[in-house]
């Protein structure tokens, strides 16, 4: 397998740089081609391009944001020190820094450049410290949506990253713990469902990325209306609705089961990827402790 060629195929796909040429390459790919055609059909290239673009937008602009800062920032917002670090890194290796250097697609372009230039020391740093350090919680959240094409794409990318790491020395990322301590803040007077929702929605705080679809599925499971809007609107509203419907214990139990399923998945994958899951396992355990403490206080 030509790792560089495979990276050059996946980079524009995940970055959203979609065109007819990329569709043609995907159709002819020995591994991804069959699943691409099975999902998008055998119609005109332009029609398949439109469908691919719509799916990309839904997955990565509405559901799970493919930015490292979303996973590292304790408010789950874009931008900040990690993005600045990556912009500087692009410049240091002689590349123009993109406007969104922490985007998965942009990071793959940097990885591809380092592979091409055989800069193994820098490649190890980018791979372990800047990409794998948040990649798996992102992939876990996307794959739970069950997309018939992009799930195999991410499986293929994970396989490529596994091949790349075989050539470099492993490094342990030092991810700073958030200043927010949800277990301590929960005891403060005035803490409400809005603050609790913010903690649960921040992977850096509670280990898990909850997307809109997962939140809506919780509402369906409990037979409660979920309303409309972003995930930051849906989750607090669901807490208030659960109180109105006298179903708060059931909502907490459902959230606890969901977080536990993430934890079990992280733990199952961790042995194959040293250091990549340690932080996220510890934060998900904190998320579970938060939910258990809220439930015990009812």
In angstroms, the CA 168 to CA 132 distance is 13
pLDDT of residue 226: 86
pLDDT of residue 42: 81
- Mean pLDDT, range 236-263, rounded to an integer: 96
In angstroms, the CA 56 to CA 286 distance is 32
Per DSSP, 219 falls in state: H
What Cα–Cα distance (Å) separates residue 51 from each residue in 10, 19, 102, 124? 17, 12, 26, 36
pTM of the model: 0.95
With a CB cutoff of 8 Å and minimum separation 6, the contacts of 122 are 93, 114
Q: Which long-range contacts (CB under 8 A, 24 or more apart) does 284-287 make?
A: 284/206, 284/207, 284/208, 284/259, 285/207, 286/182, 286/183, 286/205, 286/206, 286/207, 287/199, 287/200, 287/205, 287/206, 287/207, 287/208, 287/259
In angstroms, the CA 69 to CA 6 distance is 25
The pLDDT-based confidence of 298 (bands split at 50, 70, 90) is low
Residues 135-145 pLDDT 10s: 999 999 999 99
What average pLDDT does the structure give for the chain? 95
What is 252-295 written as a DSSP string?
A: HHHHHHHHHHHHHHHHHHGGGSTTTSHHHHHHHHHHHHHHHHHH
Domain boundaries along the sequence of the chain: 3-165, 182-296
With a CB cutoff of 8 Å and minimum separation 6, the contacts of 64 are 138, 141, 142, 145, 209, 211
Q: In the chain, how many H helices and how many E strands?
A: 17, 0
Residues 44-78 pLDDT 10s: 999 999 999 999 999 999 999 999 999 999 999 99
Asked whether 104 and 14 are in contact (CB, 8 A), the reply is yes
Q: Rounded to the nearest 5°, which phi and psi values hold at 3?
A: -60, -40
pLDDT of residue 104: 98
Which CATH architecture best describes the domain 3-165? Orthogonal Bundle (1.10)
- Mean pLDDT, range 181-209, rounded to an integer: 93
């Amino acid at each position: 397998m030509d790792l560089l060629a495979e990276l050059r195929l996946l980079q524009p796909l995940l970055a959203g740089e979609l065109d007819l040429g990329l569709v043609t390459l995907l159709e002819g790919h020995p591994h991804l081609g069959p699943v691409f055609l099975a999902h998008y059909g055998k119609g005109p290239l332009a029609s398949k391009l439109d469908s691919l673009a719509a799916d990309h937008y839904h997955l990565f602009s509405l559901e799970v944001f493919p930015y490292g800062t979303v996973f590292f920032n304790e408010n789950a917002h874009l931008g900040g020190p990690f993005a600045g670090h990556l912009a500087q890194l692009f410049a240091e290796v002689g590349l123009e820094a993109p406007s969104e250097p922490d985007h998965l697609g942009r990071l793959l372009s940097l990885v591809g450049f380092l592979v091409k230039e055989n800069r193994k020391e820098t490649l190890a740093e980018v791979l372990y410290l800047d990409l794998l350090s948040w990649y798996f919680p992102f992939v876990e959240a996307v794959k739970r949506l069950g997309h018939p094409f992009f799930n195999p794409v991410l499986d293929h990318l994970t396989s490529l990253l596994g091949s790349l790491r075989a050539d470099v020395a492993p490094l342990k990322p030092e991810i700073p713990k958030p200043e927010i301590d949800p277990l301590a803040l929960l005891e403060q007077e005035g803490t409400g469902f809005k603050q609790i929702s913010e903690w649960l929605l921040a992977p850096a705080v509670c280990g898990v990325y909850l997307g809109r679809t997962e939140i809506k599925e919780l509402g369906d499971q409990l037979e409660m209306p979920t309303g409309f809007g972003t995930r930051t609107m849906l989750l607090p509203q669901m807490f208030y609705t659960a109180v109105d419907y006298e179903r708060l214990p059931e909502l907490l139990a459902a959230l606890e089961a969901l977080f536990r399923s993430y934890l079990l998945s992280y733990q199952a994958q961790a042995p194959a990827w040293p250091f990549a899951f340690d932080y996220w396992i510890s934060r998900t355990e904190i998320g579970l402790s938060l939910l258990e403490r809220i439930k015990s206080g009812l």
